[in-house]
Amino acid sequence: MLDIVATRQTSDIDPIETSEWRDALLSLVQTAGIERAAYVLEALLAQAAALGVRAGGQTRSAYLNTIAARNEPPFPGDLAVEERIASINRWNALAMVVRANQAHGELGGHIASYASAADLFEVGFNHFFRAPCEGFAGDLVYLQPHSAPGVYARAFLEGFLSEDDLAHFRQEITARERGLRGLSSYPHPWLMPDFWQFPTGSMGIGPINAIYQARFMRYLEHRSLAQPSGRKVWGLFGDGEMDEPESIAALTLAAREKLDNLVFVVNCNLQRLDGPVRGNGRIIDELETLYAGAGWNVIKLVWGGDWDALLARDTDGALARAFAHTVDGQFQTFAANDGAYNRAHFFNQNPELAALVADWSDEAIDRLRRGGHDIVKIHAAYHRAVRHRGQPTVILAQTKKGFGMGTAGQGKMTTHQQKKLDDEALLAFRDRFALPISDADCLALKFYKPAQDSAELRYLQSRRAVLGGHLPRRRTESPRLPVPATEQWARFALQADGKEMSSTMAIVRMLGGLLKDDQLGSRIVPIVADEARTFGMANLFRQIGIYSAQGQLYEPEDIGSVLYYREALDGQILEEGITEAGAISSWTAAGTSYSVNGLPMLPFYIYYSMFGFQRIGDLIWAAADQRARGFLIGATSGRTTLGGEGLQHQDGSSHLIASTVPNCRAYDPAYAYEVAVILEHGMKRMLDEQCDEFYYVTVTNENLAQPNLPGDSAREGILRGMHRVRTAMPRDELATGSEPDRSAAADSATAQSNVDNDEPPHVRLLAAGPMLNEALRAAERLHQDFGIAAEVWSVTSFSELARDGRACERDRVLGLNRPSAQSWLEQCLPGTVPVVAASDYVRAVPDQIRAWIKAPYRTLGTDGFGRSDTRARLRDFFEVSADWIALHALDLLAEQDSRHDAARQQLRDQLNTTRRTVVPWLS
Shared domain check, 567 and 433: no
d(CA 604, CA 104): 44
pLDDT at 189 over 60: yes
Shared domain check, 811 and 870: yes
Which residue would you say has higher pLDDT here, 616 or 730?
616
- What's the whole-number mean pLDDT along residues 675-697? 98
d(CA 429, CA 406): 7
d(CA 566, CA 558): 9
* DSSP secondary structure letters along 563-613: T---EETT--BEE--S-HHHHHHHHHHHHTHHHHTS---EEEEEEEGGGSH
pLDDT at 849 over 90: yes
Question: At 736, is the pLDDT very low, low, confident or very high (cuts 50, 70, 90)?
Answer: very low
Residue at 475 is within a domain: no
Contact call for residues 755 and 761 (beta carbons, < 8 A): yes
Q: What is the pLDDT of residue 510?
A: 97
Shared domain check, 299 and 176: yes
pLDDT tens string 38-64: 788 888 888 887 887 876 656 688 999
Residues 6 or more apart whose CB falls under 8 angstroms from that of 434 comprise: 84, 87
Residue at 11 is within a domain: no
Query: 269 a known binding residue?
Result: yes
pLDDT at 787 over 90: yes
pLDDT tens string 203-220: 999 999 999 999 999 999
One-letter amino acid of 34:
I
Using a 10 angstrom Cβ sphere, with 0-12 exposed, 13-18 middle and 19 or more buried, the burial of residue 58 is: exposed
- What's the whole-number mean pLDDT along residues 860-886? 95
Phi, psi at 5, each rounded to 5°: -70, 130
pLDDT tens string 153-174: 999 999 999 999 999 999 999 9
Shared domain check, 846 and 895: yes
Q: What share of the chain is helix, strand, coil (3-state, %, to 5)?
A: 45, 10, 45
Which region among 99-113, 364-378, 701-715, 795-809 has the lowest average model confidence (pLDDT)?
Answer: 99-113
One-letter amino acid of 578:
I
**Beta pairing, strands 631-635 & 694-698:** parallel
The closest alpha carbon to 76, from 468, 379, 436, belongs to 379
Contact call for residues 282 and 290 (beta carbons, < 8 A): no
Contact call for residues 96 and 152 (beta carbons, < 8 A): yes
Phi, psi at 667, each rounded to 5°: -130, 145
Shared domain check, 780 and 685: no
- What's the whole-number mean pLDDT along residues 477-505? 95
Shared domain check, 579 and 445: no
pLDDT at 336 over 60: yes
Question: At 117, is the pLDDT very low, low, confident or very high (cuts 50, 70, 90)?
Answer: very high
Range of the domain at 181: 82-304+369-467
- What's the whole-number mean pLDDT along residues 436-456? 96
pLDDT tens string 601-610: 999 999 999 9
pLDDT tens string 535-566: 999 999 999 999 999 999 999 999 988 889 99
Shared domain check, 194 and 288: yes
Question: What total of structural domains would you count in the chain?
Answer: 3
Shared domain check, 501 and 442: no
The structure's pTM equals: 0.92
Contact call for residues 247 and 287 (beta carbons, < 8 A): no
Q: What is the pLDDT of residue 711?
A: 86
- What's the whole-number mean pLDDT along residues 431-443? 95
Question: At 729, is the pLDDT very low, low, confident or very high (cuts 50, 70, 90)?
Answer: low
603, β-bridge pairs: 525
Instruction: Answer with the one of 642, 674, 708 that is the final residue of a domain.
Output: 708
The closest alpha carbon to 920, from 871, 872, 892, 880, belongs to 880
d(CA 82, CA 76): 11
Residue at 160 is within a domain: yes
Shared domain check, 576 and 660: yes
Shared domain check, 515 and 408: no
pLDDT at 300 over 90: yes
- What's the whole-number mean pLDDT along residues 27-41? 84
Q: What is the pLDDT of residue 198?
A: 97
Q: What is the pLDDT of residue 562?
A: 86
Q: What is the pLDDT of residue 567?
A: 96
Mean of per-residue pLDDT scores for the chain: 91
Which region among 3-12, 89-98, 127-136, 765-774 has the lowest average model confidence (pLDDT)?
Answer: 3-12
d(CA 854, CA 867): 36
Shared domain check, 232 and 90: yes
CATH number at residue 918: 3.40.50.920
Residue at 666 is within a domain: yes
Question: At 848, is the pLDDT very low, low, confident or very high (cuts 50, 70, 90)?
Answer: very high
pLDDT tens string 613-669: 999 999 999 999 999 999 999 999 999 998 888 888 889 999 999 999 999 999 999
Q: What is the pLDDT of residue 820?
A: 64
Relative orientation angle of helices 486-494 and 503-515, to the nearest 10 degrees: 160
Instruction: Answer with the one of 667, 685, 708 that is the final residue of a domain.
Output: 708
Give the count of alpha carbons within 13 A of 111, CB side only. 30
697, β-bridge pairs: 633, 667
Contact call for residues 634 and 529 (beta carbons, < 8 A): no
Question: At 416, is the pLDDT very low, low, confident or very high (cuts 50, 70, 90)?
Answer: low
Contact call for residues 641 and 842 (beta carbons, < 8 A): no
Q: What is the pLDDT of residue 419?
A: 63
Q: What is the pLDDT of residue 102?
A: 85
d(CA 872, CA 869): 8
Residues 6 or more apart whose CB falls under 8 angstroms from that of 49 comprise: none
Shared domain check, 373 and 499: no
Go through the chain and tell me how many residues it has. 923
Instruction: Answer with the one of 467, 500, 526 that is the final residue of a domain.
Output: 467
Handedness of CA 889, 891, 894, 900 (dihedral sign): positive
Render the burial of 699-736: b for 16+ CB within 10 Å, e for the rest: bbbbebebbbbbeebbbbbbbbbbbbbbbbbeeeebee
Edge-first strand order for the sheet with 524-528 is 574-575, 524-528, 602-608, 631-635, 694-698, 664-667
Helix (H) or strand (E) holding 790: strand 790-795
CA distances for 701 relative to 506, 756, 864, angstroms: 10, 35, 21
Q: What is the pLDDT of residue 8?
A: 55
Query: 495 a known binding residue?
Result: no
- What's the whole-number mean pLDDT along residues 134-157? 95
Q: What is the pLDDT of residue 103?
A: 77
pLDDT at 850 over 80: yes
Residue at 242 is within a domain: yes
Contact call for residues 743 and 711 (beta carbons, < 8 A): yes
CATH number at residue 101: 3.40.50.970
Q: Helix, strand or coil for residue 266? A: strand
pLDDT at 26 over 90: no
Q: Helix, strand or coil for residue 235? A: strand
169, β-bridge pairs: 183
Q: What is the pLDDT of residue 418?
A: 67
Handedness of CA 840, 842, 845, 849 (dihedral sign): positive
pLDDT at 689 over 80: yes
